[in-house]
Structure 1
Amino acid sequence: MPTRRGAASLVSVDPSKPNDPRVDYGQPIPRPRKAGDDEVLEGEIIDRGVPIGRPSPSTPPPPPPKKKPAATRRTILWTLLGIAAFICLGGIAATYVFYRKAAEPDRGSPTVTLVQYVEAKFNSRDAIHAADFECSSPHLQAIDQAINAIRALEVKYNIAISVSVSDLQPAVRGATADVSAHLNVAIPESSGVDSVQVQKWSFHFVNDGGWRICGADRLG
């Protein structure tokens, strides 16, 4: 096959010999190109070492998706609901603590406990409230006997007897205490004047989350 010479030499290539040394692979391949065209054409003369094609500009990352107004409203709503729930729970807890403090009997000292116990046990006859002032295993048979005697008089004479405590003398020894006191039993008379029977007692206490009565003895 004939060879034509010009700006570059073309050499016939035997397809069965792709590595024929007569072929100069370093020579550019001439191809026509339109003026003003920046695209690389097939067969364009390209200098050796120049990368083929124009570098593509770097693509900026897509902007973050905008929050939909509905999603924003839901977020605000859930936040407000969470705050409201927290406030409600705090209010309930505060109310419970306040109620406990208001309903909890005062057992700050043996004498204070004794005054409240006598009122609940002898006058109100409220066994449940009286139990708030008793220890876990009380021995109060003497008090039960005194109350039974008072009830018998009330039934016999159709009267209401009241009891008060006075002359309290505490003796505290660590977590235990004894209180000597007088129980004043006021018995209504037909004259309209109460007769008062004074009974001397000794009450025994333990400090178990507050002073609680555990025993009692009538003296004399």
Structure 2
Amino acid sequence: MPPPAGSQVSRVPAQRTPPEELAPPAVAPVPQRPRRRLRTVLTVIAGTLAALCLGGGVVGYLLYDRATTPDRSTPAVVVDNYLRAFLVDHNDVRGNLFVCDGSAQLGQLELLRSDLAVREQRFGARIWVSWEEFHVDRHDDYADVRVDLTFSAQIDGIRQTDRQAWKFTTRLGEDWRVCAAARAD
């Protein structure tokens, strides 16, 4: 179409796009991932310490449990531990850890301990109780344990000793327990 009559057409010279606008923009270098060696090392150290602490806690608990659980593994051991708790330490609570539940016949041993206390007061001397050998006669879940108890005291500078034979009857349930004690003939 031709321009209308009487109008002037102005022409604009064509402009060229500068070459830098035609070229695609330069690609920025891909940022490198920051090195996280320190974080990895700290994570490994923290994990190792946590595992060591957890393992140490478990080992500590097992050692504590083993150290505080009374040993009732054999008839002789349970009698030894019972005598130590009852006659030497005078600790009834600890002694009861080695006794059969409800059916224990330990009256004679209780009388012996009472008699020893009376004699200590009367003579003003400490009486030591000891024992050496255990003779065990086992029958399935029961065992008789014979032991000689030795009583020693020093009165007026003179050492005195007495020896008594005792028989302890033990029974195996979950573990060994003392069920009866009597002086042996």
TM-score (norm 2): 0.69
Report the CA distance between 1:85 and its aligned residue.
Answer: 1.9
Report the CA distance between 1:116 and its aligned residue.
Answer: 2.5
CA distance in 1, matches of 2:105, 2:164: 19
| Amino acid of the structure 2 residue aligned with 1:164 | S
Q: Mapping of 1:1-220 within 5 angstroms?
A: 69=34, 77=42, 80-137=45-102, 138-196=104-162, 198-220=163-185
| Amino acid of the structure 2 residue aligned with 1:191 | G
Report the CA distance between 1:96 and its aligned residue.
Answer: 1.6
Q: Deviations over 1:71-98 (max 9, x none)?
A: 8866765554343222211111111212
Say which structure, 1 or 2, has more relative contact order (CA 8 Å, 6+ apart). Answer: 2
Secondary structure at the counterpart of residue 178 of structure 2: strand
Contact 2:147 2:167 in 1 (8 A): yes
| Amino acid of the structure 2 residue aligned with 1:194 | Q
Contact 1:167 1:181 in 2 (8 A): yes
CA distance in 1, matches of 2:77, 2:46: 46
Higher gyration radius (CA): 1
Contact 1:189 1:195 in 2 (8 A): no
Closer/same/farther in 2, CA of residues 83 and 166 from structure 1, 3 Å limit: closer
CA distance in 1, matches of 2:53, 2:32: 30
| Amino acid of the structure 2 residue aligned with 1:201 | W
Report the CA distance between 1:167 and its aligned residue.
Answer: 4.7
Closer/same/farther in 2, CA of residues 174 and 70 from structure 1, 3 Å limit: farther
Uncovered stretches (5+) of structure 1, i.e. residues with no partner: 1-65
The aligned counterpart of 2:19 is none
The aligned counterpart of 1:49 is none
CA distance in 2, matches of 1:140, 1:87: 48
Q: Deviations over 1:145-178 (max 9, x none)?
A: 1111110111111111111224532111122111
CA distance in 1, matches of 2:164, 2:179: 19
Uncovered stretches (5+) of structure 2, i.e. residues with no partner: 1-30
Number of corresponding residues: 155
Q: Percent identity?
A: 25
TM-score (norm 1): 0.59
Report the CA distance between 1:113 and its aligned residue.
Answer: 2.2
The alignment yields a C-alpha RMSD, in angstroms, of 2.8
